[in-house]
Every structure is written in structure tokens, then in C-alpha cells.
A and B are shown apart, each in its own frame.
Chain A
Amino acid sequence: GEDVEQSLFLSVREGDSSVINCTYTDSSSTYLYWYKQEPGAGLQLLTYIFSNMDMKQDQRLTVLLNKKDKHLSLRIADTQTGDSAIYFCAETFGPFNSGYSTLTFGKGTMLLVSP
């Protein structure tokens, strides 16, 4: 079945760049998402990339997709202490035109930003 893997923990200093990595197994993935979860809160959609793209940039966030290696990364430039959170990678699988496809989540990467 489908599987999404992430490293569990990343620690960076304020001002540095953070790179959170994700690998997935389902080659028929249509969308890949990054969500942020702060302590005690729900999930905030950060960004997503469609499977026919290889890069998407949105302010401090850059998403890179390598379809051949089934590898997705999220780069956060100039990381701030407010970026400390758990980051979840998620993919959709299932027939694109079916109108019904579910999200599969990774276990999340805890990002800790120190001053």
C-alpha cells in the first residue's frame, strides 16, 4: 500500500534555512501537501504541489518534487522561532477523475528552532 516517510526531528538555529524531507511510494500521487501543526492546534495547510510540477515557491517556502525518486522537500528560508512546529507531508492517491481520493500522512517532522 501507499506509504509516506519523514524524518522525525530537525533542529536549526534562527536565521538558518530548514529542509524537511519526505519520501512516498505511490507513483500515482496527484497532489502532495505540507501541513504545519503547532502545539495544541489543528493542521494548517502551508502549501501543496501538483505532481506535474517540480518546484513551487511561496514567500519563504520552497517545495521541490523529484518524481523519479519519489522525494518531496520543504525548505523554509530564514527560519524563525515561530516556525517551531510539527510538519506533515501528505499525498493523495486514487483515480484523479474519480472525485474521491484520500490523504495519506507521514508521521510528521518536529522542527525546533533555537534563538
Chain B
Amino acid sequence: SAVISQKPSRDICQRGTSLTIQCQVDSQVTMMFWYRQQPGQSLTLIATANQGSEATYESGFVIDKFPISRPNLTFSTLTVSNMSPEDSSIYLCSARSTRASGTARTDTQYFGPGTRLTVL
């Protein structure tokens, strides 16, 4: 399994500012993702963090608002830019580990503890 840590665990920010969330995985993983979980809701995928290249964003999310970096196989950052109260949410880092054996492949996806963001 992969153990994922995130920093900060929570923050309260002012409107118009930006916050960068860090994600560290304890082992090399094939893929890393960022999700948002709004209060009382399920998880929505923001983007796939690609090592050494631009992230792949889902519909409704753009790079200017959510710039993402992934400089190596175990670390990624998500920035929430020019924040508004609507950005108040839990942001979760996720990593997928793939093991291949012959033609068989096992995918398991793990999540970090989340960063609880409140924008005033």
C-alpha cells in the first residue's frame, strides 16, 4: 500500500489569496490525482498530475485556477488561486499503484487525509 501525507491539514484563507497544498507519497506510484470534496458531497476529480508535464484537467477545472506540479514520482502540489468562498472544500491527493504480473494487472488507489480549506 501507499501512505500519503498532505500539508497543510487545514487552513482558513482570505478571499483573493492563493494556497498551495503539498502531497507526498511514501513510494513511487504510477499516477497521482487531485480531488475536491465539497461539504456533504462526493468526490470530484480536479486533475491528473503528470510527472514533468502539464496536468490533465477535468471539465470545469482550469490550470489558471488550479495550477498543479509533479516534479517527481512521489510529490505533487495543488494551488488554489484567487480564492473565493465557493472554493471552501476538502482537497484530497490520491495516488494509484499498479502491479503487473504477466498479462494480469492490479490497480489500487489510495487517498491522503485531505486539506480542509475555508475561504472567508
Contacts and interface: CB of A to CB of B under 8 A. Distances in A.
Interface of A: 30-31, 33, 35, 40-45, 48, 50, 88, 92, 96, 99-103, 105-108
A42 B109 CA distance: 13
Given A88-B42, A99-B30, A41 B114 contact: yes
A110 B113 CA distance: 19
Nearest to A110: B40
A99 B112 CA distance: 21
A37 B80 CA distance: 23
Nearest to A33: B109
A88 B33 CA distance: 17
A86 to B, nearest CB: 9
6 contacts: A41-B113, A99-B98, A100-B48, A103-B45, A105-B42, A108-B42
Contacts of A33: 109
Contacts of A88: 42-43
B112 to A, nearest CB: 5
Chain B contact-residue range equals: 20 to 34
Given A40-B116, A102-B58, 15 more contacts: A30-B107, A31-B107, A41-B113, A41-B114, A42-B114, A43-B92, A44-B111, A45-B109, A99-B30, A100-B31, A102-B48, A103-B109, A105-B43, A106-B42, A108-B42
Nearest to B114: A42
Interface string B81-120: 0000000000010100010000001111111111010000
B41 interface: yes
A37 to B, nearest CB: 9
B42 A35 contact: no
Nearest to A50: B106
Contacts of A43: 43, 92, 111
Interface string B38-59: 0001110100100000000010
